[in-house]
């Protein structure tokens, strides 16, 4: 399956997502905030996908995505934002930064797996 990084500051949510993905056969790394996510991916750009919360301490998901999309070594990795904030402007901001998708919390584990599958299939086609 895929190698996925989960960047989420809420430990319970991060662990739930990690377990859901691992149960579906994915290899999962975790980060507690955007800064840690950028550091991890800068050292290991073999991730197939990054799931990232928008509102995190030290560095927001938006800023982390912006930095990753500016680097030649990481710009190819799809970023999916996870957020409880679903206002149209927030979603548009995330997509304008280069995110592949914007998933609203709360979400069902099956929905998350299905959306990840679509994005990974699209990545293979391109």
Residue 95 lies in a domain: yes
Q: Total domain count for the chain? A: 1
89-110: per-residue pLDDT in tens? 888 888 999 999 999 989 999 9
What is the value of pTM for the model shown? 0.94
61 Cβ contact partners less than 8 Å away, ≥ 6 residues apart: 7, 34, 52, 53, 54, 55, 81, 83, 94
Domain with residue 100: its CATH number is 3.40.50.2300
In the three-class reduction of DSSP (H, G, I as helix; E, B as strand; rest coil), residue 104 is classed as strand
16-44: per-residue pLDDT in tens? 999 999 999 999 999 999 999 999 999 99
Do 7 and 31 touch, CB atoms closer than 8 A? yes
Q: Report the percentage of the chain scoring pLDDT > 90.
A: 83
Range of the domain at 30: 3-119
């Amino acid at each position: 399956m895929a190698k996925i990084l989960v960047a989420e500051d809420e430990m319970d949510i991060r662990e739930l997502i990690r377990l859901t993905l691992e149960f579906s056969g994915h290899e999962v790394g975790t980060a507690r905030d955007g800064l840690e996510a950028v550091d991890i991916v800068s050292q290991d750009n073999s991730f197939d996908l990054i799931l990232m919360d928008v509102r995190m301490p030290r560095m927001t998901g938006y800023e982390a995505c912006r930095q990753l999309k500016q680097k030649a070594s990481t710009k190819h990795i799809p970023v999916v934002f996870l957020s409880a904030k679903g206002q149209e402007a927030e979603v548009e901001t995330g997509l304008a930064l280069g995110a592949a998708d914007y998933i609203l919390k709360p979400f069902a584990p099956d929905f998350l797996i299905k959306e990840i599958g679509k994005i990974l299939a699209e990545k293979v086609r391109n």
